[in-house]
Structure 1
Amino acid sequence: MRVPRPAGRGRMKLAARCRVATEAPAFGMVVFCVILLNAALMGVETYSGLAADYQRLLRTAEQCCLALFSLEMLLRVGAFADRPKAFFRDPWNLFDLAVVASAFVPFVRENTTLLRLLRLARVLRTARFLPHLRILLIAVGRSLPGTASFLFVGGLVLYVYAMVGWVCFAESDPGHYGSVGRAMLTLFLLTTLDGLTDAVRAGLQISRLSIVYYASYALLASFVLVNVLIGVVLNSLDEAREIEDAANRDRKQPGPPPAAGPDGDVRDRIATARRALDEIEASLPAPDGRPSRHLETSHSGS
């Protein structure tokens, strides 16, 4: 029976060739160098004298960087030509595509501020080529929900202590505790323990009980809450490592060899099925009770 040719043969060949190009170490190194060059060009543009003298050269270099980034994205999209949905499931692919494609949007190209911000966002694409940096960025994103809860608790503690400080020190130290806003700012700066010694000395001149106020705040805000935040970040870092390991395992899953193509893979499966059928046929007796021809051949050979 003739096996029909599988559809999408051209897309699979295109994906295989693009995948070979994008997975080459030289490809990643070239893109990484272009990203660093783009960052250096942005730094040079901050010097008005250099920007005015080499304006044409800088613009040409920027256009070359954009062309290389566009070529890179075309190759990356082509590597997923046989499975387009997998390309959009990767957040880094979506981020790279948005950063590069936005440079061709008419409104963005005419807005100098937005264009510079998007060029600055290209520097973050170095995370694709630095696994440890990629893990840290994922950890930061994973820690945002826990950080929001931490900020709420920290703000609540800061507000309560600010109100207590306003009640106790507003008349004697209006510069730091004259209002709840000033008190919160003062206590927020004391979270780093910078200036705590001067604050304690000024408080002792008002009341000896101020030592309890500052000691309890330093213990709660600078030690307990900060350690809670560190725990949230470390937990998110472990989750980011697990996510990165899972993504690496998915990328390394074996698939059909690119050189064989879809026809070669189908032929291999047919050959395997035929060998299995031959083994089954050899193990069955003939209809007249005699051994099958495969068994007779094996006995005669022995």
Structure 2
Amino acid sequence: MEVTPVAVTLSPKEIKVIKCNGVGTCKKKKHNMYSLPKDYLSHIVVIDDQIPDRNCTSCERCCMDYGGWLQFQQVLYRIVKDPIFELVITVCIVLNTMFLALEHHGMSESVFRALDVGNKVFTSIFTFECTLKLMALSKEFFHCGWNIFDLIIVSASLLDLIFELVDGLSVLRGLRLLRVLKLAQSWITMKVLLSIIISTIGALGNLTLVLLIIIYIFAVIGMQLFSKDYLAEKFNPDPVPR
């Protein structure tokens, strides 16, 4: 197959034209189509090797080797978008949830240490994942709500480790259970159910307010009807006010 470079005035750079005419397989990836004469339109494949820039405008001025950074960032982008990478993270989420479920009152010291080590390992894995996505996506990272959600959970996990080291407290560990919601990214049924729940939050809020008003009304009515029948001496030994 002969490859002939052709200069096009409407294009900012040289393109390659492959005369395949739709016969056989063409392995070149088609990115952008430029305006060419009609006699070329039946047998062209345009190749654009420009690396996309996902960074903010000030990054180019701050980076010494911006071209090298873009190439490295593109490699990271391919890694985080790879299905195998997403599968590994999904398996880690499931395992982390199982580790959290194994915690119980009165567990032995060996079990406690094993779960604590597992917690630190999973926190390191998810921190590494979040860092990779931040480097690969740059400002596009914050365009996805799941990424922001994951960043919050990772930050809470790191703060939990800091509090545990300083004061021996573990006040934010429960937030890590929310990470299981990330399974909705790959589990379509769960994603649909979460979307339905989120879309009905407004209606549920109004319904909850109506229920609270009804409960308050009946509480006042009950107090008015039965307050005279209250016998204080029946509860004299009981220190709890009634």
Is TM more than 0.5 here?
yes
Q: What is the CA-CA distance between 1:97 and the residue it aligns to? A: 0.9
* Unaligned ranges ≥5, structure 2: 1-11, 14-49, 54-59, 61-65, 231-242
- Residues in 2 aligned to 1:112 and 1:126: alpha-carbon distance in whole angstroms: 28
Contact 2:157-2:173 within 8 A present in 1 as well: no
1:96 — aligned with what?
A: 150
Describe how 1:1-302 pairs up with structure 2 within 5 A.
8-46=66-104, 48-49=106-107, 51-81=108-138, 84=139, 86-105=140-159, 107-110=162-165, 112-160=169-217, 170=226
- Residues in 2 aligned to 1:47 and 1:159: alpha-carbon distance in whole angstroms: 38
Which 4+ residue blocks in structure 1 deviate beyond 6 angstroms?
A: 164-167
TM-score, with normalisation over the residues of structure 2?
Answer: 0.55
Distance 1:33 1:48, change over 3 A: farther
- Give CA-to-partner distance per residue, 1:118-161, whole Å, 9 cap, x none: 33233333233323323433433333222222222333344456
Q: What is the CA-CA distance between 1:76 and the residue it aligns to? A: 1.4
Contact 1:18-1:78 within 8 A present in 2 as well: yes
Distance 1:135 1:14, change over 3 A: farther
Distance 1:158 1:55, change over 3 A: closer
- Residues in 2 aligned to 1:61 and 1:43: alpha-carbon distance in whole angstroms: 12
Q: How many residues align?
A: 169
2:23 — aligned with what?
A: none
Instruction: Please identify which structure carries the higher helix content.
Output: 1
Q: Which moved more, 1:6-15 or 1:123-132?
A: 6-15
- Residues in 2 aligned to 1:47 and 1:166: alpha-carbon distance in whole angstroms: 41
What is the aligned-residue RMSD (CA, Å)? Answer: 3.5
Contact 1:15-1:78 within 8 A present in 2 as well: yes
TM-score, with normalisation over the residues of structure 1?
Answer: 0.46
Distance 1:25 1:47, change over 3 A: farther
- Residues in 1 aligned to 2:209 and 2:111: alpha-carbon distance in whole angstroms: 50
Which structure: larger Rg? 1
* Corresponding residue SS for 1:113: coil
* Unaligned ranges ≥5, structure 1: 175-302
Distance 1:62 1:160, change over 3 A: closer
2:24 — aligned with what?
A: none
Contact 1:109-1:115 within 8 A present in 2 as well: no
Q: Specify the code of the residue in structure 2 equivalent to 1:13.
A: Q
- Residues in 2 aligned to 1:115 and 1:164: alpha-carbon distance in whole angstroms: 41
